Structure 1
Amino acid sequence: MKVIAVDIDNVLNNFSDTLASSTFKYNDLYGLSREEFDHYLDMVKRNAFDESNFLTTKFSDFRYRIHEQCYRLAQAKSDGVQFMHWLKDNGWEVVICTKRNLRLTGESTKKWLQDNHIPYDYLFMALNKIVFCKLWNVPYLIDDDILNITHGERYGIKVYYPIMDKHDSAFSHTAKGFTRFEEIKQWIQE
């Protein structure tokens, strides 16, 4: 059985563009002052984190709520949808592997995948996708995370990533970047 893991955000959709271009209106339901709201929103848009010894903070709750809105608003990449159908039509087992907290966003994530006609066999949350792929014998990963791009091959995982500005930093890797999903087909058929 041919198996591949595919990320959602910034791979199958335009999450970062949606986050950058969306307007989020202040209201009392956030439980923040206007100043906190503006400061936290700036941090979320810059992908910054607050320093805390706690797993859940006012900022982490706010970040989740903004991201949840972007999960629903993000547009699927049409060539990504076509690629996912090509995978299924050619006998691939497709694992959607995301860092999203699926306990909180599992139903909305499934709905987004269904609404965008994205076929898959399994949906998993994994903070370390290399370890996930290694443990579950998934030899291929399509993901935009620099950690996975940099270290995947060392652990026997072939990583393919959509080329983005954040990948301009100088780091050594053997992963293959792509501008169109069509390019991946030749690499996974080798």
Structure 2
Amino acid sequence: MRRAVDKAARSARRETIKTMAADIGRPASAFMKSTPLVKASTQGNLSASWTVTKAKLGILDTGKFTPILSALRGSFSGSTFRLSGGGSASLNLPKAFILYGNGGRALMVRTGKGRAAIKAVYAEHPATGLGTEGDAPRVTWQKVAERELNANIGVELQRAFDGAAGPSPSSLGGE
């Protein structure tokens, strides 16, 4: 049973990362640090889980910055975040600028007067898609987890009834 639950969770995580990447418009590798591996089930708890931490994904990779006054000052237009069902909303910032610091760069907008009145603009982080009912990553997670669990539970129960000890991937090949 535990093996079937763990396999279903790993498959669902893998497919969900692909869905998040396609939905936000970033490569899947951008989500690896914010989506750690699946925490396996235990004898006392038959649930496998994985958490999604906040990841500040730069919005400069999801849109186009057009320099106007200088190389660092101009306008930005691009995709900001997904709406229900996996669509995206457009963002147009006519007075944006790029700020370099700490080995990276960020798209900034002015929020008021003064030196410190600026705010960084980020793309959506992966936790939002999984936390919102009906969004593409959450739907993918639920469908793949259910499909894989239904496919693996019979095989794993048969292995348990046959007295198989421990995981044996070669025995699942259809002997």
| TM-score normalised according to structure 2 size | 0.26
Bigger Cα Rg = 2
TM-score (norm 1): 0.25
